[in-house]
Amino acid sequence: MGKKRRQKDVPKALAATAHDANSQTLMEWTVHLAQRYPLKTALTVCVIVVTLAFGWIWANPLIAIAAGAFLLGLVGEFLFPVRYRITVEGAEAVGFLFRRFVPWHQVHRLVLLANGVRLCPFRFSSPLEPFRSLTLHWLGDEKGLQRLHRLCEGQVKKAQSQRCDL
């Protein structure tokens, strides 16, 4: 077994904001967009395979593999299942090639989408939003989406009130 880090080894600023894997889970679900949209999935896989084939034949195999890995990284959230988890500390998305956690105190704006909720770190709309925000995809019923939105909204308000109290 590996060594466990003692509490005094962690700086106090990090200890207060560190994500605890055993924290209280408020909501958890898994979304697999590729299963939901088979035509888009087939097209995406074809583009990756064609890119690999062209790169392998006309360029260098290493370049082909790098291009394929790059494309796979771009569409990994679509091709592979993503597990979403809402905790009292923040929201988390875990996929095949990524893990993203956003604490509630960093969320300044919520955007309700047709198929999910976007947690934005900016107070106003920004061109950086697609890169910095976390979208929680929801493929269930409308009531579940509304519940997700209310839950996120409540956690953001609670974090903002704690931020103001400090």
Domains of the chain, first to last: 26-165 (2.30.29)
List of residues 6+ apart from 16 with CB closer than 8 A? none
12-32 residue pLDDT tens: 333 333 455 567 889 999 999
Assess contact for 84 and 137: CB atoms under 8 A: yes
Going by C-alpha positions, the residue among 101, 110, 113 that lies closest to residue 156 is: 110
Please tell me the distance from the alpha carbon of residue 55 to that of residue 105, in angstroms, as a whole number: 44
109-165 residue pLDDT tens: 999 999 999 999 998 888 988 888 999 999 988 999 999 999 999 999 888 887 666
Please tell me the distance from the alpha carbon of residue 30 to that of residue 102, in angstroms, as a whole number: 17
Could you count the other beta carbons within 10 Å of the beta carbon of residue 94?
A: 14
Across the range 74-90, mean pLDDT stands at 93
* pLDDT of 88 above 50: yes
Supply the pTM of this predicted model.
0.77
Give the pLDDT score at 21.
Answer: 57
Q: Which residue has the tokens 């509304």?
A: 146
Whole-number mean pLDDT of the chain? Answer: 84
* pLDDT of 79 above 90: yes
Going by C-alpha positions, the residue among 78, 57, 77 that lies closest to residue 67 is: 57
Please tell me the distance from the alpha carbon of residue 84 to that of residue 101, in angstroms, as a whole number: 10
Please tell me the distance from the alpha carbon of residue 71 to that of residue 145, in angstroms, as a whole number: 30
What's the maximum distance between 2 C-alpha atoms anywhere in the chain? 62
Could you count the other beta carbons within 10 Å of the beta carbon of residue 79?
A: 19
Give the pLDDT score at 9.
Answer: 40
Assess contact for 138 and 82: CB atoms under 8 A: no
List of residues 6+ apart from 127 with CB closer than 8 A? none
Assess contact for 151 and 85: CB atoms under 8 A: no
